[in-house]
Structure 1
Amino acid sequence: MQNKVDISVMGCGWLGLPLAERLVRSGLSVNGSTTSEKKLELLRQSGIQPFQVNLADPLLSADTLKDFLQADVLILNIPPKLRADGGESYLQQMTVLQKALLQSTVSRVLFVSSTSVYPDLNRIVTEEDTSFTDERDPDNTLLKVERMFQNSESWVCTVVRFGGLVGDSRQPGRFMAGKHDLPNGDAPVNLIHLEDCLNILERIITEEKWGQVYNACADEHPSRRDFYVAAAKALHLEAPTFKDMEETSFKLINSQKVKDDLAYVFSYPNPMAFF
């Protein structure tokens, strides 16, 4: 049995690993999970107590999961893969985790979610606009999972809905380079840089902002056309083209609440400066 630690980071990938490393540097004791056996040594070298945890594996050891969850705070950072089966496997994995959490020492959960939980409303969108998701998509898997962790008496949960994640190895110029006749060229982008993701998550923990829901996107929202053309050119790749459309389907994510509650100023407020 591991000694009780401060934080467990489930999902030490593009976002989770640098977050866990930052928390270690701040003096916290951190458990970190990965599905890859090869990555365990990397976590160990970073001062993170490594665990191989694959919630989709029916042979996952209950003791391994129990030891991983010996913590005060769980940062839940498993990107949902919803397209393959409509999110059914993701929902099953989160149910496994929820049951294990009920037997753990965790009292606070920081759930990394996505602004994809909102429908396109063709206007500015705030945290309350999931009411339209309830109306238009009552079986929305991501919203179901958010509420699974919010509606517990055993812990308190804060949800952070990030926009599109960019930075470090995620170079947006590669996303659409060379593609033609793409739709919604005039739609605003809702993106956030890795550095701002890390800053916001760390500040929620240090300032004990629990029981909240936050949107988190860069302040500026250039059009898809302007952003992805510039991003491709910055990498000297073929710029995408967009077809002319009379109507555009979009949402413009408002992040004022996270800025107000955390007194947060974005390090990368304009996505056009991401590259």
Structure 2
Amino acid sequence: MEGRKISILGCGWLGITLLQRLIEYGCEVKGSTTTERKLKTIKGYGATPYLLDLDKLDVNILKLFLAESGVLIINIPPRRKIKEVKSYSKVLEGILPFLNNDQKVIFISSTSVYQNTNNWVDESFDLYPETDSGMAVLNAEKCLKDDLGERLTILRFAGLIGKDRHPGAFLAGRKDLLNGNAPINMIHQEDCIGLILEVIKKEFWGEVINGVTSEHPLRKDFYTQATQALGLEEPTFQEENVTIYKLISNVKSVNQLGYTYLHDNPMEVI
């Protein structure tokens, strides 16, 4: 990894920690943010900061941000506003003309692209997202794949937990929640970063990979234990005869990418 030149588009909760790890590995890293206050933070970790807003794209800054980087990591989820969700793929499409033919891309996607099946789903499934954000992410995947082909690897991460994102705060005190008997799909921040690093180290390009723990505890068990761990009010769940869910498989990440999860059971994280 030492000496690799990498650009991270989006240094939020996951991106800023990834940036630190890459610096520790001896990579030359550029990090983008949309807020001026974070420029100092990025620079403080030893990376080169760029103020870059794709909604108000400054082409000159984008060119500098991409210049000489062998790998671009796109880590910008769609915002929740309907208008911005619908424009998500078009915003990302604006980057493509400025990539050279040698640059590889990792797109941080989401398991929200999968529909509920009440069974296992993997990377080979035909996709019919059930939310606007899931459809936006799938459209972005297609847009990037059409242009980049085998230079693109897509990482579909499940629900994110980890440092500064303890699940105990997610549903604390909520009442009469649905789907308490549904199995959950989660991944720890450290494993997100581990999968990204593994893709780069092994040059695992042209692939789609799920990132998710092997264990899938029930929603009510997980969030009850999580709130207890923080001393918060436990959520309550309705008694239901019908449960709607999907079980995301991580078999490809383990068997083909060869990744070993550091946190493979969400119940042990909390």
Deviation of residue 140 (structure 1)? Answer: 2.2
- Aligned match for 1:116, one of 105, 112, 118: 112
The 5-angstrom pairing of residues 1-275 of structure 1 reads: 6-57=5-56, 60-70=57-67, 71-85=69-83, 87-101=85-99, 104=100, 107-129=103-125, 131-133=126-128, 140-153=135-148, 156-275=151-270
Contact 1:76 1:112 in 2 (8 A): yes
- Equivalents in 2 of 1:85, 1:121: separation in Å? 28
Q: What CA deviation, in whole Å up to 9, does each residue of 1:146-193 have, x standing for no partner?
A: 121112258710000000000001110000000000000000100000
Residues 227 and 135 from structure 1, CA distance in 2 versus in 1: closer, same or farther, beyond 3 angstroms?
closer
- Equivalents in 2 of 1:136, 1:230: separation in Å? 28
Q: What CA deviation, in whole Å up to 9, does each residue of 1:66-113 have, x standing for no partner?
A: 110111110000012245337223223112222333xx4652000100
Contact 2:93 2:144 in 1 (8 A): no
Contact 1:196 1:266 in 2 (8 A): yes
Residues 87 and 72 from structure 1, CA distance in 2 versus in 1: closer, same or farther, beyond 3 angstroms?
same
Contact 1:106 1:155 in 2 (8 A): no
Runs of 4+ in 1 over 6 A off after TM superposition: 134-137
Contact 2:150 2:206 in 1 (8 A): no
- Equivalents in 2 of 1:53, 1:152: separation in Å? 22
Contact 1:190 1:253 in 2 (8 A): yes
TM-score normalised by length of structure 2: 0.93
Deviation of residue 135 (structure 1)? Answer: 11
Task: In structure 1, give the amino acid aligned to 2:96.
Answer: Q
- Equivalents in 1 of 2:216, 2:19: separation in Å? 29
For structure 1, list consecutive stretches of 5 or more residues without a partner in the other structure. none
Residues 122 and 264 from structure 1, CA distance in 2 versus in 1: closer, same or farther, beyond 3 angstroms?
same
TM-score normalised by length of structure 1: 0.91
Task: In structure 1, give the amino acid aligned to 2:15.
Answer: G
Contact 1:107 1:154 in 2 (8 A): no
For structure 2, list consecutive stretches of 5 or more residues without a partner in the other structure. none
Instruction: Provide the secondary structure at the position in 2 that maps to 1:15.
Output: helix
Instruction: Provide the secondary structure at the position in 1 that maps to 2:192.
Output: helix
- Equivalents in 1 of 2:101, 2:25: separation in Å? 22
- Equivalents in 2 of 1:234, 1:182: separation in Å? 20
Question: How big is the alpha-carbon RMSD for the aligned residues of Structure 1 and Structure 2?
Answer: 2.1
Deviation of residue 35 (structure 1)? Answer: 0.6
Residues 119 and 10 from structure 1, CA distance in 2 versus in 1: closer, same or farther, beyond 3 angstroms?
same
- Equivalents in 2 of 1:8, 1:25: separation in Å? 15
Contact 1:51 1:68 in 2 (8 A): yes
Contact 2:113 2:129 in 1 (8 A): no
Deviates more, 1:86-95 or 1:116-125: 86-95
User: Identity over aligned residues, as a percent?
Assistant: 41
